Amino acid sequence: MPLTDHDWFTEVCDEAGSAFSLRITKKLYTERTRYQTIEVFETSHFGNLLTLDGFVMLSARDNFIYHEMMTHPALYTHPNPKRVLVIGGGDCGCLREVLRHSGVVSAELVELDERVTRISERFFPELCAANDDPRAGLQFTDGVAWVERSEAGAYDVIIVDSTDPIGQAARLFQAPFYASCRRALGDAGVLVVQSESPLIHAELIQAIRAEMAAAGFQQVSTLHFPQCTYPSGWWSATLAGGPGAHTDFREAAAREQSFATRYYNADIHRAALAQPSFMQDRKPQ
């Protein structure tokens, strides 16, 4: 049977007056968990598609950009990252990228909804390839509480791979959480959070930077990268460091990395730090 207009997954972005659609060939899975509705679709051109509560989380075709930019810039900014914490990121793509760094001795993933991980293991096994790495630890609990209970200086890098700031995830965009991260990182630690679309959410990015500064982070920068399956196709990650954090990244190490990446490289990292003119006046308050 030919495809019809109903054979599309569409995510509407009301605040931008826009929508993004992918042609689907089959619904592979749906489950209502304690926290959200998880769905997996087979698409005609983007491979498998994972959605939560009707919002695109990732596609097999383009997730590598997001996962590489959420991890490698932060790890190359820290002088010697050994202990890494990933908050959220239940699809395990960020965990996989972190563990490409041979110097990392432990990487803990703290995901609220275990079903995201189990479903990803089934439908996105390539993202979960490092789950059995002896350096990896998977914890299925509240990430905010986990960081609050962490010892001071427990981590070198904290990666917040969260959904949009809605519901439970809203706590991951606020100063109290950032203050807990600041304590858990120590002075040389690096925090990175996904910070939405600069085109649509510039005020949110400004607020994130201000909240980070209020929490005690003295160095804040925002990275830009394309992500075609997210609203506007333009996404960002915001990095923050304490007074002992490096102001730049280990460019020579990035150029000589021992593992392959599909998007990230030292030139991309350098370019991603450049700010468009309309963002240049949006400094932490």
* Backbone torsions φ then ψ of 198, nearest 5 degrees: -60, -30
- Closest C-alpha among 41, 50, 1 to residue 23: 41
Handedness of CA 173, 90, 199, 42 (dihedral sign): negative
Contacts of 257 (CB under 8 A, 6+ apart): none
Measured between alpha carbons, how far is 142 from 150 in angstroms, rounded to an integer?
A: 12
DSSP string, 69-85: HHHHHHHHHSSS--EEE
Contacts of 197 (CB under 8 A, 6+ apart): 16, 230, 231, 232, 234, 235, 236
Active site residue 14: no
Handedness of CA 208, 181, 140, 130 (dihedral sign): positive
Three-state SS for 37? strand
The total of other beta-carbon atoms located within 10 Å of residue 214's CB is 15
Which of the residues 161, 164, 187, 248 is marked catalytic? Answer: 161
- Closest C-alpha among 146, 145, 156, 86 to residue 117: 86
List, by residue number, the catalytic residues.
Answer: 161
